[in-house]
């Protein structure tokens, strides 16, 4: 799946809410995302380009209000960027394939990685495993 190139193409592909999150670096309100409670086996993909990013096997309830994962799938195109906005230092997560904003990475996750990939539901799509 190829990613749109112009701002207008992104708006048309994503719709206004997803556009704000993915292309403008927004954050959805906690506990509102459709994928927060998703428990089926499957993969989570970038809403912008379809790249596989996370597996349901690494998803857990962090209590943060956003889908959280302790690891990414092998070869997931995720770029980590130092983020000093809002008066704090964090690590922003962006899709390395289409540059969509995903969320943030925190060093407070469970074993085995100790990482928490805190991701906006609107930055993702979910594809359940086929039975």
Distance from chain centroid for Cα 11: 18
Q: How far is CA 70 from CA 27, 108, 112, 118, in A?
A: 20, 9, 8, 9
- Nearest CA to 90 out of 128, 57, 116, 58 is that of 116
Q: Are strands 116-119 and 101-106 parallel, antiparallel or unpaired?
A: antiparallel
Q: Which alpha helices (DSSP H) does 53-123 contain, by range?
A: none
Element (H, E) at 36: none
pTM for this model (two decimals): 0.92
Q: How far is CA 12 from CA 3, 92, 122, in A?
A: 12, 25, 15
Active site members = 118
Confidence at residue 86, expressed as pLDDT on a 0 to 100 scale: 76
- 7-28+36-128 CATH fold: 2.170.150
pLDDT per position as a tens digit, 52-98: 999 999 999 999 999 999 999 999 999 999 988 878 889 999 999 99
Rounded mean pLDDT of 10-17?
A: 94
What radius of gyration, in Å, describes the C-alpha atoms of the chain?
14
Confidence of residue 5 (pLDDT cuts 50, 70, 90): confident
């Amino acid at each position: 799946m190829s990613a749109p190139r112009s701002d207008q193409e992104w708006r048309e592909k994503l719709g206004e809410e997803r556009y704000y999150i993915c292309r403008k670096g927004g954050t959805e309100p906690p506990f509102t995302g459709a994928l927060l409670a998703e428990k089926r086996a499957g993969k989570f993909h970038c809403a912008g380009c379809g790249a596989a990013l996370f597996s349901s096997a690494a998803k857990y309830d962090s209590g943060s209000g956003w889908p959280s994962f302790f690891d990414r799938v092998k070869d997931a195109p995720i770029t980590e960027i130092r983020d000093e906005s809002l008066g704090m230092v964090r690590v922003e997560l962006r899709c390395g394939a289409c540059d969509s904003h995903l969320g943030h990475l925190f060093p407070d996750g469970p074993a085995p990685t100790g990482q928490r990939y805190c991701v906006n539901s609107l930055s993702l799509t979910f594809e359940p495993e086929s039975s």
